[in-house]
Amino acid sequence: MHAGRVLNSAACLLLALTFACTRHPAPSPPIILISIDTLRADRVRADLTPNIVALTKDGITFDNTWSHVPLTLPSHTTIFTGLLPASNGVRDNAGYALNEKLPVLASILAANGYATGGAVSSYVLRKNTGIARGFGYYDDDTGDALDITASRPGEKTLAALTAWMNGVSQQKMFCFLHLYDPHGPYRAPSRFQQTGRASYDAAVAYADDTAGKFIAELKRRGLYNRAIIVLLSDHGEGLGDHGELDHGVFVYREALQVPLIIKLPNGERGKHVASLAALTDVLPTILGAAGIAAPQHLDGVDLLHTKPDPGRQLDAESYYERLHFHWRQLTSVITARYQYIEAPHAELYDLPADPQETTNVLQRDRREGLTLAKALAARATPLNAPSHIDEEDQRKLASLGYMSNGSPAGEGTYPDPKERIRYLTAYRNAERTARAGGTREAIPMLELVTRGAPEILDAWILLARAKETSGHPEEGIAVLRNAQRQFAANPAVALALADALMRSRHLDEAQAIATTAAAMEPVLAHELLARIALARGDSSAARKEAEAALAGAPQRTASLLLLARVQKQSGDWQGMLASLDRAAEKTPSVRGLQADRGEALLHLQRGPEAEQAYRKEVELFPDDIDAWGNLAVILAVQGRGAEARQVVQRAVSLNPGPAAQRMATEAMKVIR
């Protein structure tokens, strides 16, 4: 036989054997998926992420991996479905939910006998988006269900996931850990905040430390060597590289290129792959590694068993700016060499020569730009409109940087985001300044935004509150009147104006505006009308309005808590308890809910249950000083002085400061 043919045959045989070995892993390997939200690919380095770097030495690193959308919910939906946002229908964090008919990674694994458990660190990935489908266990408890901070440290998320793992057979489990610490506002324990280290990098180091603890736990349980472990991020972060501080608007490399590391049972170690990869590839790759058939018609490929395609094109998009500010959306296509961005002024970047994408080469490389523009246009899919999003979601998403959806009057042509990004940056800076207590300093920054980019609705509302907080409530009302002219058809502005008028005791005008707004936004309008009635001291009218709000949204937590407040004012303790119990069924982790239950139970002379309610409150919210005090008094009046003193001591130890000391002084008067 010809020598070349012998070599070719041997190569084919070797390839077939390699394919067979990787295609049929150990039976039902554990599958571990670690998603570190907002982690830029260029931050995976030894001095910042030693645990992730250590994982790369045990697995395969795909060095050229891209996200398809720089937002948390759409990107994780892509990961779990293997479909582009245009295919799975989730285009934004607000107003979209996963189609229950689409197969998802967790449900496929569950159907193949896997125990499926996930724990997430952000409200954005809450259960009611549909992202939890297929998980037998899914912990999305990020703290107070109505608290606008809406996220939790990764260590707490890890504790929730490992607690679930304790009760599961180690042979067939799928574990999903979501860490959110590198997402703004970049919180990290002080031990990670080294001198000269940026706050983002400190948060990245903290997330790496948590991921390292999880990997160590897998080793302790004997799972590490047998497991398929995938570590990735959903998107990157702007950090000002193209004028965007965070993410969501632009589709440049810093926002889309992400780490992707895959460790296989007894697989290749320390390998780096330079060819294009994408987050749509995660589902088919995991299933292929586990020997499970993937659904057909996916947008991704099995990276381990598909020959790299040098002509591959990856699509990316952001409709965030279109949906939230009525700016022009951005779409792009990425190849091994270029990224083409479809925008009012199109852009083409030569990625190997210009990785920071600083020089638009569209005029130089017109043929390539035209080819990519045509390919992108051929795959274009119309935007599916978002569904309604309620005020609870809106407030919490806004606090995370996902701003309200304004609808300016006479919107006309959509502006170019590049021409508006400086105003969004100014708004972000003003928001952070106000949050840090610099309300007065934030006012001129917000005035700049409302003049230069009046379509940013949240800037108007924050400016009005800043004026009010600074002691000028009438100026705040004037700001909202101007905003109402800008957003004539938006009920959020009308309700914000009515709310400000109510706080300034302009009750008649507040009631008139809220009544008019009820035609567009009945639930929120009736809630506001109930608060206006309470301000008048009219419990009967307040109850009628609260019940009207609940008629439109029977399980809405805010409406139930409002009704409970009305019932408390009128002395209807049984009704108050019933409303609070209904609220607790949906969202048990709400600050003050259990304490209010305790108060109602005391009035109903159900002391032991009241004690348990207060214990639950301080367990959930150990900084609730009043709840500690009430619990101590309940114990004291039952003659359980020693227990009461222990409660007081516990409260003071957990809450050093004058508030706890004052509570202790008052409580000890009863205990003695």
Q: Write the CATH number for 654.
A: 1.25.40.10
Region 609-615 average pLDDT: 96
* Residue 351 lies inside a defined structural domain of this protein: yes
pLDDT digits (tens, 9 = 90+) for 86-125: 999 999 998 899 999 999 999 999 999 999 999 999 989 9
Q: Nearest 5°: phi and psi at 272? A: -120, 135
Predicted confidence at residue 435, as pLDDT, reads: 87
- Residue found by looking up tokens 């001095």 in the block: 47
Per the structure block, which two tokens stand in for 18? Answer: 């390699």
Q: Write the CATH number for 51.
A: 3.40.720.10
Residues 498 and 457 in one domain: no
Neighbour count for residue 42 (Cβ, 10 Å): 14
Interatomic CA distance for residues 382 and 331, integer angstroms: 12
Predicted confidence at residue 5, as pLDDT, reads: 35
Residues 72 and 106 in one domain: yes
550, 559 contact by CB (below 8 A)? yes
Read off the pLDDT band of 9 (50, 70, 90): very low
Residues 98 and 121 in one domain: yes
pLDDT at 346 over 90: yes
Residue 451: which residues within 8 A CB-CB, separation 6 or more? Answer: none
* Residue 11 lies inside a defined structural domain of this protein: no
Residues 346 and 418 in one domain: no
Residues 297 and 168 in one domain: yes
Closest CA to 517 of 535, 538, 501: 501
Read off the pLDDT band of 10 (50, 70, 90): very low
pLDDT at 138 over 90: yes
* Residue 383 lies inside a defined structural domain of this protein: no
pLDDT digits (tens, 9 = 90+) for 167-182: 997 679 999 999 999 9
Predicted confidence at residue 1, as pLDDT, reads: 37
Residues 195 and 326 in one domain: no
586, 557 contact by CB (below 8 A)? yes
476 lies in which domain range?
A: 406-482
Predicted confidence at residue 588, as pLDDT, reads: 82
Predicted confidence at residue 147, as pLDDT, reads: 56
* Residue 399 lies inside a defined structural domain of this protein: no
Q: Nearest 5°: phi and psi at 371? A: -60, -45
pLDDT digits (tens, 9 = 90+) for 229-265: 999 999 999 999 999 999 999 999 999 999 999 999 9
* Residue 23 lies inside a defined structural domain of this protein: no
Interatomic CA distance for residues 184 and 199, integer angstroms: 9
Residues 185 and 267 in one domain: yes
Instruction: State how many domains the chain has.
Output: 5
Preceding amide of 185 cis, omega within 30: yes
- Residue found by looking up tokens 């080793």 in the block: 219
Per the structure block, which two tokens stand in for 659? Answer: 């508030």
* Residue 398 lies inside a defined structural domain of this protein: no
Residues 300 and 335 in one domain: no
- In single-letter form, the type of residue at position 258 comes to V
* Residue 315 lies inside a defined structural domain of this protein: no
Residue at which a domain ends, from 547, 562, 590: 590
Closest CA to 400 of 247, 541, 266, 562: 247
CA atoms within 13 A on the CB side of 30: 21
The overall average pLDDT reported for the chain is 91
Residue at which a domain ends, from 285, 308, 331: 308
Residue 646: which residues within 8 A CB-CB, separation 6 or more? Answer: none
More confident residue, 394 or 133: 133
483, 457 contact by CB (below 8 A)? yes
- In single-letter form, the type of residue at position 305 comes to H
Interatomic CA distance for residues 392 and 293, integer angstroms: 40
Interatomic CA distance for residues 142 and 589, integer angstroms: 9
Region 271-294 average pLDDT: 97
Interatomic CA distance for residues 646 and 355, integer angstroms: 60
Residues 91 and 221 in one domain: yes
462, 403 contact by CB (below 8 A)? no
Region 622-628 average pLDDT: 95
H/E segment holding residue 425: helix 417-435
pLDDT at 575 over 50: yes
Closest CA to 149 of 129, 123, 120, 118: 123
Residue at which a domain ends, from 308, 331, 358: 308
| Cα 423 from chain centre | 23
pLDDT digits (tens, 9 = 90+) for 352-389: 999 999 999 999 999 999 999 999 999 999 998 888 66
Predicted confidence at residue 12, as pLDDT, reads: 35
Read off the pLDDT band of 13 (50, 70, 90): very low
Lowest mean pLDDT among 12-16, 141-145, 278-282, 627-631: 12-16
Classify residue 328 by its DSSP letter: P
Exposure b/e, 79-93, CB count within 10 A at least 16 = b: bbbbbbbbbbbbbbb
Residue 207: which residues within 8 A CB-CB, separation 6 or more? Answer: 36, 39, 154, 179, 181, 182
Per the structure block, which two tokens stand in for 167? Answer: 């009760």
H/E segment holding residue 175: strand 173-179
Instruction: Please calculate the CA angle 33-34-37 and round it to the nearest 5 degrees.
Output: 135
- In DSSP terms, which residues pair with 119 in a beta bridge? 139, 177
Radius of gyration of the chain (CA): 28
387, 93 contact by CB (below 8 A)? no
Residues 101 and 196 in one domain: yes
Q: How many helices (H) and strands (E) does the chain have?
A: 27, 15
pLDDT digits (tens, 9 = 90+) for 427-462: 999 998 998 899 999 999 999 999 999 999 999 999
Predicted confidence at residue 654, as pLDDT, reads: 94
* Residue 311 burial class via C-beta count within 10 angstroms: exposed 0-12, middle 13-18, buried 19 and up: exposed
Residue 512: which residues within 8 A CB-CB, separation 6 or more? Answer: none
- In DSSP terms, which residues pair with 349 in a beta bridge? 339
293, 287 contact by CB (below 8 A)? yes
Interatomic CA distance for residues 571 and 577, integer angstroms: 11
pLDDT at 75 over 60: yes
Predicted confidence at residue 141, as pLDDT, reads: 87
pLDDT at 501 over 50: yes
DSSP assignment of 118-172: EE-SBGGG-GGGTTTTT-SEEE---SSTT-TT-B--HHHHHHHHHHHHTTS-SSS
Read off the pLDDT band of 553 (50, 70, 90): confident
pLDDT at 7 over 50: no
Residues 245 and 115 in one domain: yes
355, 361 contact by CB (below 8 A)? no
pLDDT at 607 over 80: yes
Residues 355 and 327 in one domain: yes
* Residue 313 lies inside a defined structural domain of this protein: no
- Is residue 412 left, alpha or beta, with left meaning phi > 0 and alpha meaning psi from -120 to 50? left
Closest CA to 576 of 606, 535, 552, 620: 606
Region 562-584 average pLDDT: 95
In angstroms, the Cα distances linking 200 to 204, 298, 426, 438 are 6, 34, 19, 22
Interatomic CA distance for residues 268 and 25, integer angstroms: 13
Please report the sign of the dihedral spanned by the C-alpha atoms of residue 13, residue 15, residue 21, residue 24.
negative
- Residue percentage of the chain with pLDDT more than 90: 81
Sheet holding 277-278, edge to edge: 257-258, 65-66, 277-278
Predicted confidence at residue 16, as pLDDT, reads: 36
Predicted confidence at residue 289, as pLDDT, reads: 96
Interatomic CA distance for residues 57 and 360, integer angstroms: 36
